[in-house]
Amino acid sequence: EDQVTQSPEALRLQEGESSSLNCSYTVSGLRGLFWYRQDPGKGPEFLFTLYSAGEEKEKERLKATLTKKESFLHITAPKPEDSATYLCAVQATSGTYKYIFGTGTRLKVLA
């Protein structure tokens, strides 16, 4: 069964304290892995797409990487405005285009 697991569930960082969020996945074949940011009361906001192992994408303080079994979202020198829930989703090659989501990591960055 296709599955996505994110860790940790919650993370508190001091402003400027870098860290990484993990997304491990089990799918028959990976079509793509997607990272989203979600603020309270809002819909998920697209961040990155990764398609193959070894691929990396960067945007401001965020960098996403992909291996054959997991993806990391690295946050460098975070600011309070980076506080949000970060969601990972995968699309499998099994013929449909649905997202399989993890439960997310709630990040709180303290000033």
Partner 1 sequence: EAGVTQFPSHSVIEKGQTVTLRCDPISGHDNLYWYRRVMGKEIKFLLHFVKESKQDESGMPNNRFLAERTGGTYSTLKVQPAELEDSGVYFCASSQVPGLEQYFGPGTRLTVT
Per-residue binder mask for partner 1 (CB under 8 A), 28-67, x = binder? ---xx-x-x----xxxxxx--x------------------
DSSP output for 52-88: STT-EEEETTEEEEE-SSEEEEEE-S--GGG-EEEEE
Residue 87 in tokens: 């969601």
What minimum distance in Å lies between the beta carbon of 9 and partner 1? 11
Residue among 59, 69, 98, 108 that touches partner 1 (CB under 8 A): 98
**Paired tokens of 47:** 């961040």
**Residues engaged in binding partner 1 (CB under 8 A):** 4, 31-32, 34, 36, 41-46, 49, 87, 89, 91, 96-104
